[in-house]
Every structure is written in C-alpha cells, then in structure tokens.
Amino acid sequence: MISPIKIWRRQKEIRKIIGKKGKVLVWTKIYTPGADFKKYAPYPVVLVELKNKEKIYGQLVDYEDSDLKTGKKVVSVLRKVRSSSEEGVIAYGVKFKPL
C-alpha cells in the first residue's frame, strides 16, 4: 500500500512531466509482473527521452503492436497506477501514449 502522503509529495514532480513529448529509446514487454500489476500483463515499458534531453521510463498505454519500436514519438499522460487503497486514495502516475 502506498501512503497518501507519498502520493501528495510526488504530485509536484508529476505535474512537471505531464504533456511532455519525446521519443522511445528502448522498450520491453513485462510478462511476469509484481503482484499489483498481474492483471495488466503483458504490458510494455518504455525509456523515453524528452525534448529537454531528460530520460524517464514508464508504461506505454493505448498502443498497438506497431507502436512498439525505437524512435516512436510519445506524449506523457496521467493515468491511474493502482486501485484505491483502504483509505479510498487512488494513486495516479505518469504513463506514455503514442502520438
């Protein structure tokens, strides 16, 4: 479980990244995920270089198999990363969507 305080602290970093465009440097598909992500398997994870040369990684969403390639242009989006906790807090994070 992730605490509401950690979610709140992370939101400042997330706001700086949302809507940024970049390109995929490398990608992989996760077939054997951790317990929290088993229902999403298999899912792709990408390392993206943003236009400001910053590199970040995240899950690729709303994709087709033809989007899984190096150099593919993507944009960062805000998406739910976990189901709601016992306190009713839903965790959101950065994921990437093909352009």
| pLDDT band for position 24 (cuts 50, 70, 90) | very high
Rounded to whole angstroms, what are the CA distances from 73 to 18, 23, 34, 60, 89? 15, 4, 28, 11, 32
Could you report the per-residue pLDDT of 39-88, keeping only the tens digit for each? 888 999 999 999 999 999 999 999 999 999 999 999 999 988 766 656 67
Model pTM?
0.81
Residue 93's domain is classified under what CATH number?
2.40.50
Report residue 57 CA to chain centroid gap: 7
Higher-pLDDT residue of 51 and 38 is 51
> For residues 64 and 5, what is the distance between their CA atoms, to the nearest angstrom?
35
Number of structural domains in the chain: 1
For residue 79 the two structure tokens come to 């998406």
Name the residue range of residue 29's domain.
Answer: 4-98
